[in-house]
């Protein structure tokens, strides 16, 4: 599977391209992981390296992507933390950690999207 580099942005907060997607300045440095299925990326502007999962719920996860997705689907459907941990055969603290990280990412995304929404400009707020 080919990685769409246009979807990535520099993760270095000090870089002038931080958070800007599709600059053409992100390259794959090398592949890593058990099956060489993960990519280490590099910003050509600041030379900062970061993994493809940086800034996602999968960052520093020791569980397979499918397992994390399943855990989050259970909690999204309202299944409790302890029941999810039993169904997925993981510790309840693992479920709690994924819920917390996913919530933080959702909050950041919401703030980013609302900031650009024409319905939420200062002139429209009463």
Residues 82 and 120 in one domain: yes
Write the pLDDT tens digit of every residue in 33-63. 888 888 999 999 999 999 999 888 898 888 9
Residue 73 sits in which domain range?
Answer: 55-126
- For the record, the structure tokens of 47 come out as 């030379």
DSSP label at 56?
S
Q: Give Cβ neighbours of residue 58 (< 8 Å, ≥ 6 apart).
A: 65, 68
What are the structure tokens assigned to 96, written together? 């709690």
Q: 41 and 68 in one domain? A: no
Tally the domains of the chain: 2
**Quick one: 106 and 118 in the same domain?**
yes
Q: Assess whether 31 and 5 both reside in one domain.
A: yes
Mean predicted lDDT score pLDDT of the chain: 87
Alpha-helical (H) ranges within 45-91 are 65-76, 81-88
Question: 18 and 66 share a domain?
Answer: no
């Amino acid at each position: 599977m080919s990685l769409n580099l246009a979807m990535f942005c520099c993760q270095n907060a000090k870089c002038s391209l931080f958070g800007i997607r599709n600059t053409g300045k992100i390259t794959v440095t090398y592949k890593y992981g058990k099956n060489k299925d993960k990519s280490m990326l590099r910003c050509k502007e600041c030379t900062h390296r970061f993994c493809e999962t940086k800034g996602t719920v999968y960052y520093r996860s020791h569980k397979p992507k499918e397992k994390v997705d399943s855990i989050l689907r259970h909690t999204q459907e309202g299944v409790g933390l302890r029941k999810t941990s039993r169904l997925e055969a993981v510790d309840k603290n693992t479920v709690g950690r994924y819920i917390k990280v996913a919530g933080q990412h959702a909050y950041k995304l919401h703030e980013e999207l609302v900031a650009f929404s024409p319905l939420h400009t200062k002139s429209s707020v009463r």
